[in-house]
Structure 1
Amino acid sequence: MPLSTLIESAAALVGWRRAYTDTTEVDGLLTEQTETVRRQAANHAALATAKNGDALDVQPGVLDVRGRVLADVLYLEGVLVGARNRDLEPELIERLADVVDHGHELTELLADTVRTTAAVNAADH
């Protein structure tokens, strides 16, 4: 592992993150994140098909995802409040507000999905 990656990994463990000032670097980082997650999820569809035999099998995973998304959205809501309080750039505030709104919508969709797993199960029995 390159020294820079090792240093960034160690720093991340204590909550420090590097800020990028160049959009090319940011685009590269975003591409790397996407590729990493896609590699990790390559076999997920086959595993999920084998594991998820009915609606209740789906429920715990969706509930876990909702919890993680909700925690992240609430974190971003704090970031948004801080950006507003510091009078940061309006475009940044607008983008953060959009993300927070979308995140809340996503948590509602996930909650509805969890409710559906229980309703489908109740209707089947």
Structure 2
Amino acid sequence: MRRTWQALAAFTSPSWSYAHTDPEQLHQVLAEQTAAANREAADHATEAATWNVDELHVQPGVLEVRRDVLTDVHYLEGLLIGARHRGLDPELIERLAAAVDTGHELTVLLADVARATITAPAAGR
């Protein structure tokens, strides 16, 4: 019996993502991702707020988020390089490039936030 990549992925990893060819299915996946993140948002925000008793307590969380964003941006860069190399749709390449640029901008902003956790106490006291 011949198995599709989609079926094999379901056996190997419950969180495996695969390509959708139906715009409605893709819309549903995007909506589910957003809904899941929104459901967890209150817990994440409450937990983060609980730990932030002063500037230095903010730093570990910011560094963790920055690390994760860097990892994701590098993955997006790989997708962009592959899309360019294969001559994929110019609109796709343009949007991937914008996502990569925005990701890099976010890492710079997060680095600035991390630095502010050190300078803020000295400047404010």
Q: TM-score, normalised by structure 2?
A: 0.84
2:42 maps to 42
**8 A Cα contact 1:70 1:103, kept in partner:** yes
Q: Given the alignment, which residue of 9, 12, 18 partners 1:10?
A: 12
One-letter code aligned to 1:18 = Y
Displaced runs of 4 or more, over 6 A: none
One-letter code aligned to 1:21 = T
One-letter code aligned to 1:115 = R
2:73 maps to 73
Structure 1: any 5+ residue segments left out of the alignment?
A: none
One-letter code aligned to 1:121 = P
Q: TM-score, normalised by structure 1?
A: 0.84
Report how many residues are paired: 118
One-letter code aligned to 2:78 = G
Residues of 1 paired with 2:37 and 2:11: CA distance?
Answer: 17
Report how far residue 104 of structure 1 moved: 0.4
Q: Are 2:118 and 1:118 equivalent residues in the alignment?
A: yes
**8 A Cα contact 1:77 1:100, kept in partner:** yes
Structure 2: any 5+ residue segments left out of the alignment?
A: 1-5
Residues of 2 paired with 1:69 and 1:39: CA distance?
Answer: 21
CA RMSD of aligned residues (A): 2.0
Report how far residue 47 of structure 1 moved: 2.6
Report how far residue 113 of structure 1 moved: 0.5
Classify the secondary structure of the residue corresponding to 1:41.
helix
**8 A Cα contact 1:66 1:107, kept in partner:** yes
